[in-house]
Amino acid sequence: MLRLKKKVKIFMTISFVFLLSFFLLSMNNKTVKKETEAVNKAYNQVQSGEEKIEGTDYVIFDAFFLRDNDSDGNAESYRGASVDMAKNEKLYLDFKVLGDVTLKSGTIEFVNDNVRLSGSVPKSNVVKQTYISDDFNKIEFNSVGNGLSSLIELNVNPRINNNEEKYSGTNKVIFTGIVVDNVTKKEKEIKKEISYKVDWYTTKINMNFYRSYSHFNMDTLTATYTFSTTTDTDAIIRDTTISGTV
């Protein structure tokens, strides 16, 4: 009978270790989801008129994410996004020339803190050449006249490098060019800088490696254990050790 009790105690100890580890992983998963729902509504919504560029009324440029946060079926533009690493997210770049002017030397530059912008941008009346990249840093324009426009979509990917501080970051899009008045031929340099925030998260947690060591005291029916895991998400690899006595 005593031998059976000892076996039961050992079995319960091992079961406790497994249940504890999976409980902690599960709680982390739920916390991330709740925090994401709150963060996703906290970014500044783009207001009418923010697409304008200081110094000209005839060229507009903007960069934004699209979200239907109020679930009314209509997407609104935001200056940031909370993004699941396992899903596809897009940054939109909107450009237009209005009025009797020409834009020369138009350039979009990217200052990336925690994102990689990838995709393909075909050559057009606006875009100077075809761009294909997994890490955009610049897009150049042709000379662009009245009535021409372009909406560019780029894929947003994490640039974490196993650094937890990069889960949140502020990135920039810088638009520059020269506006030429087609009547007076006067030229004016323009510049617009747009900052946007990206908060990465993941609900994917893999347990890649497991080991446990236990010492059983057969007299007191207690066990001292060490439980270790190496887990990884889409961006961070982490070692966890849980020790105790039951």
**Under a CB-based contact definition with an 8 Å cutoff, are residues 177 and 128 in contact?**
no
What is the structure's pLDDT at 18? 53
Cα(166)–Cα(125) distance, integer angstroms = 37
Last residue of a domain, one of 184, 201, 218: 201
Give the pLDDT of the chain (246 residues) as one tens digit per residue. 545 555 545 555 555 545 555 544 454 444 444 445 545 558 999 999 999 999 999 999 999 999 987 788 899 999 999 999 988 899 999 999 999 999 999 999 999 999 999 999 999 999 999 999 999 999 999 999 999 999 999 999 999 988 889 999 999 999 999 999 999 999 999 999 999 999 998 876 555 544 454 555 555 555 565 545 544 554 444 555 545 555
What is the structure's pLDDT at 222? 58
Number of domains into which the chain is organized: 2
Tell me phi and psi for residue 27, to 5 degrees: -65, -40
Tell me phi and psi for residue 144, to 5 degrees: -120, 130
**Under a CB-based contact definition with an 8 Å cutoff, are residues 141 and 102 in contact?**
no
What is the structure's pLDDT at 1? 53
Cα(176)–Cα(140) distance, integer angstroms = 10
> Quick check: pTM over 0.75?
no
Same domain, 218 and 136: no
What is the structure's pLDDT at 246? 52
What is the structure's pLDDT at 40? 57
What is the structure's pLDDT at 68? 86
Same domain, 130 and 151: yes
Same domain, 102 and 15: no
Domain of 238 in residue numbering reads as: 2-37+205-245
